[in-house]
Structure 1
Amino acid sequence: MDEFLLRRIPIQLGGLQDPFTPLERENGVTLQILKVLAEENYPTLISTKGDIFLQDEYLDQLTKMNLVFRLSASGVSEHLRPKIDRRADSFPRVLEKISILRSTGIKVALRIQPVIPSFEEVALDMASQAANAGVHQVSFEYLKLPSEEIRHAMAGMKTSSGGNLIEWMSELGLKKVGPDWSLKPAAKEPFVVRARKHCHRLGIKFGAGDTEFIPWSDGNGCCGSSDLVLDGKQFDANFVGAIRQATASPDKAVRFQSLAERWIPTFSVGNYMDYRSRVPKAFVEGSSDWLVMLQRRWNGGKSPYSPAFFHGISSTDEKDELGFTVYDAKQLAAALR
């Protein structure tokens, strides 16, 4: 963390927990954090569905910050919005928030999540309205079904044409990654291509929220929003950074060396996390343990999240001098033209 902070890598408030819940009215913890970030001019991404930030004391701090503010909305027709998220604002209210933030000069992004299969046209129309309201970027993420409970709760939900949503998603093809079920990448790709072109026609940046499509975004961070931060160093020492460099290279080869040249932590894995489940006992000192851990992830091993996990990237039989697999990004490069 100290190395990240010294490099002024943008941080996010609201990635897992909304920073503007009703509890904030009582304790004001987020307000105190905003004051510190403003004093340091630290690059920040804020994600929320709340509205406490519209109070003068919060807006006063936000206007002093080096930040991009991201709002969220479900990609469905207005009458279905309460079924997807009971506490969600109406989309007209979201547009109003965007306008208020933009009037103060704050950069704003919109995350449309979930995009419901068969409601893609609604999501594209929302992006158009958001662009007119002044957003700089829109990201899209398809519906995930994280548990049997949610599948049961949505069992009666209809597609835009009146069919059963779960049955429709099953016909399109479902894939399980971790605890979640979502559409297979091939079923998502046509909309991702359309949404990307749509955003570019609107003059705004595009973000792909589905993990397999992150390299299709206009930025390196999650959903592409972090590159909107004015004074920050974009963290690209990751698989996505290596993939994006490969798509611009003559041979379109994704090599681990391009990641290592960006940054590898100075201290051993044990300085940052419990290495016992990640690194063999023989490699627990110095920087070599990072290479061991990263090679297991990069080459696939027990984890599905190698570069080949990303749509448009394929594995090859070639390995570099350290034993890292070389991947092929030609398909992705062609799709991004």
Structure 2
Amino acid sequence: MNANSKPHPFARKGRGAPTNATPLRFNMNERLADGDWLDDREMLDGTATKLRTEVIAEFPKSIINFNTSPDIPFDRSINAYRGCEHGCVYCYARPTHAYHDLSPGLDFETKLFAKPNAAELLRQTFAKPTYKAATLAIGTNTDPYQPIEKHNRITRQILEIMLETQHPVGITTKSDRVLDDIDILAKLAANQLTSVTMSVTSLESATSRSLEPRAPSAIKRLNAVRQLSEAGIYTHVNIAPVIPAITDHEIEAIVVAAAAHGAQSVSIIPIRLPHEVAPLFEEWLDHHFPDRKHKVMSIIMQMRGGKRNDPDFHTRMKGQGPWAELLRNRTEIAARKAGLREAKFGLRTDLFRRPTVKGSQLELF
């Protein structure tokens, strides 16, 4: 929060979204403050009540999400959780909570879903005769190493299946909790079966605390990069999202820090504001950076074809126009100076061995 910031009446310490009052596209109506008893309950002695994290067990019938997107380097992913306690206000996955009639605002970071049967579903999928191995991405929607992983260990169970079947897996996280599984990851890496992408948004602690209030600090993430790299695991740092006029001045410093901590490569993604994320982010700007809100949103719209968000393939992940090109050029120059090479994950698929499942014919052999 800078000197010109102004308090938000319902902002919770340690939470990213100021409110749940965001326009929703499905069944849940927006609830605006109207002075009733619900609003009074929100406030105690002039401050907002503390929200506790709720975790709901979810038992899906399938676990792998397949895609045909031409601008991402994988065609399948898996998510152990829905929602994310890290509370990153910019998270492009927030709108998925609307499918559950929950708000992409505070609900997304306090009402979480865990999938206890994820590993077993994965085993059943891998056992199908028609399944063909390709890199499986973990952490593309919500973080596989958010705080609730400490107790649920669903991500570790998934990685155990990966190791058993020698299946390639790419991990994206912004948590040093990934080190809890470094034993499995090192074994996978020995056969060129895994890589880890660590997301680093800002090296400035005050900025990080407001943007991603429950995510580990940048130094913890970078120290995790060092330990992963020393264990022989291909480690990439993604500077994401880059927020113009707030974090873009840190690109070069983050690249230097990534190289110093053993990262093999770096990349950037300009901020994306799909659906309900846009009003939440603007509300966050009103609270933390009211003096530069207009400038921030103006540059974002210049990178997004005059809109707050560009959902089109090929441009949604990298932006367009002079500002986006400038960010890319700065990153490439900084990476060359730091001695970082172009990202090449190149995981193997030829080692995959189909697992046996209870009741299958393979159990006879």
Q: Provide TM-score, normalisation by structure 2.
A: 0.51
1:200 aligned to 2:331? no
After superposition, give the CA deviation of every residue in 1:109-149 in whole Å (9 maximum; x if it has no partner). Answer: 11111212134231221111111111011111122333212
Confirm or deny that 1:61 pairs with 2:178. no
Higher relative CO (Cα under 8 Å, sequence separation at least 6) belongs to 2
Report which of the two has the higher share of helix: 1
Matched to 1:68, the amino acid is S
- The answer (yes or no) to whether the contact 2:138–2:144 under 8 Å persists in 1 is yes
- Offset at residue 229 of structure 1 (A): 3.7
Q: Which amino acid aligns with 2:321?
A: P
Could you say which residue in structure 2 is the equivalent of 1:154? 285
Cα 1:68–1:166 change in 2 (3 A) is farther
Verify: 1:228 aligned to 2:342, yes or no.
no
Deviation at 1:182, TM superposition (A): 9.9
1:73, 1:113 within 8 Å by CA — same for their partners in 2?
Answer: yes
Tell me the SS of whatever aligns to 2:171: strand
Deviations 1:55-106 (A, max 9, x none): 3xx2221111110011112136332111111012222111111111122111
Contact 1:75 1:114 in 2 (8 A): no
Per the alignment, residue 135 of structure 1 pairs with: 263
In structure 2, the partner of 1:82 is 209
Q: Distance in 2 between matches of 1:39 and 1:63?
A: 14
Shift of 1:12: 0.5
Match for residue 270 of structure 1? none
Which one of 200, 209, 217 corresponds to residue 73 of structure 1?
A: 200
> In 2, Cα distance between the equivalents of 1:109 and 1:182?
17
In the TM superposition, residue 171 of structure 1 has moved relative to its aligned partner by 5.6
Taking the aligned partners of 2:185 and 2:206, their CA distance within structure 1 comes to 32
CA contact (8 A) 1:98 1:108 kept: yes
Counterparts of residues 112-191 of structure 1 (less than 5 Å): 112-118=239-245, 119-145=247-273, 146-158=277-289, 163-170=291-298, 173=302, 174-175=306-307, 176-178=309-311, 184-191=320-327
How far apart in 1 are the matches of 2:270 and 2:174?
Answer: 18
Q: Residues 75 and 24 from structure 1, CA distance in 2 versus in 1: closer, same or farther, beyond 3 angstroms?
A: closer
Residue aligned with 2:144, SS: coil
Q: Which amino acid aligns with 2:143?
A: D
1:26–1:197 Cα change, 3 Å:
same
Aligned mates of 1:132, 1:84 — CA distance in 2: 24
CA contact (8 A) 1:43 1:229 kept: no
The CA RMSD measured in Å over matched residues stands at 3.0
Deviations 1:29-54 (A, max 9, x none): 22221111112222211111233332
The answer to whether the 8 Å contact 2:176/2:216 transfers is no
Q: Sequence identity of aligned pairs in percent?
A: 22
Aligned residues of 1:157 and 1:164 also touching (Cα < 8 A): no
The letter of the residue matching 1:149 is L
Gaps of 5+ in 2: 1-65, 67-127, 351-365
Other-structure match for 1:104: 231
2:176 is equivalent to residue 48 of structure 1 = no
TM (norm. structure 1) is: 0.54
Contact 2:172 2:198 in 1 (8 A): yes
Distance 1:232 1:154, change over 3 A: farther
Query: CA, structure 1 residues 32+74, in 2 after alignment: closer, same or farther (shift >3 Å)?
Result: same
Query: How many equivalent pairs are there?
Result: 208
| Secondary structure class of the residue paired with 1:154 | helix
What's the offset of the Cα at 1:156?
Answer: 4.5
SS in 2 for 1:68: strand
Letter in 1 for 2:310: V
170 and 155 in structure 1: CA distance in 2 versus 1, 3 angstrom threshold? same
How far apart are the structure 2 equivalents of 1:104 and 1:11?
21
